[in-house]
Amino acid sequence: MVLPLGDLAKTRIVPFGTYVLIALNVVIFLSQLEHGTSFTTTYAATPYEISHNIDLPVFNDPVPPFDPNREEPRRQVEGQERVPFPIWLTIFTSMFLHASPLHLAGNMLYLWIFGDNVEEVLGTIRYLIVYLACGFVGTVLQIAMNQDSLIPTLGASGAIAGIMGMYVVWFPQNQVRVLVFRFITQMPALYVIGFWIVLQIIEGVGSAGKIGETGGVAYLAHIGGAATGILFAIHYANRARAVEAAHDAQDGWFVGP
């Protein structure tokens, strides 16, 4: 097991965008706990809903386009409520939902470690837009692999994978503190993030035939988000070089997480 604990890179900014994203994810998870499963199911991205542009009804409503004699789809969407906006927007709301405290903690840890350096390169507004774009592409890729699935997709992982994709392209030699089994050591970001991306690809290929049939890790959302982040990293490479040049020329950084 390799668990990142923090990076040694420094920034010249206070990463307000990263702090806002972490706060939103935490507050919305608390809302999930307060409102129960129906809240989570309602605002998660359900592939069937997105691909057919239909907000699935609650248990007692009519169930077109399903055969009314079929009970299985009715049971699978029981308790779900309607959303007060176009159903495709759940692609975005799903990015701020999490399945468990551990799911939330893991995602926020990765965002805390890698987000500030990426935000420094992009600037806060562009960073937030790119974050949402990476999450959007990751979620759409996951949905596209089984468009009739009634199993909701949720989590910030696709968006955070995009942040990690940018980080590894711009700062491959940045040292990252990692927990390896019981020992804490340092590794280049290229190894830490590169290993994670390779693992997602391997697991994603292995699960390709079962996507949308059962719950689990949305590997394709991770792959799609990371790939999108890498494309953004290439596009904004000049900004990253400028930040590195500024780091070489000045002192007095804020210490990154």
Give this prediction's pTM.
0.87
Distances (CA, A) of 86 to 30, 78, 83, 120, 152: 24, 20, 7, 33, 16
Which tokens sit at 195? 């290993």
Overall domain count for the chain: 1
Summarised one tens digit per residue, pLDDT across range 9-48 is 888 899 999 999 999 999 999 999 999 888 999 999 999 9
Q: Binning pLDDT at 50, 70 and 90, where does residue 60 land?
A: very low
- How is the chain split among helix, strand and coil, in percent rounded to 5? 60, 10, 30
Confidence category of residue 92, pLDDT binned at 50, 70, 90: very high
Q: What is the pLDDT of residue 57?
A: 67
Q: What is the mean pLDDT of the chain?
A: 86
List, for residues 140-175, the tens digit of each pLDDT value: 999 998 888 888 899 999 999 999 999 999 999 999
The CATH number assigned to the domain holding 89 equals 1.20.1540.10
Domain that holds residue 227: 2-255
pLDDT tens per residue, range 165-214 = 999 999 999 999 999 888 999 999 999 999 999 988 888 776 655 655 55
| 140 in Cβ contact with 92 (< 8 Å) | no
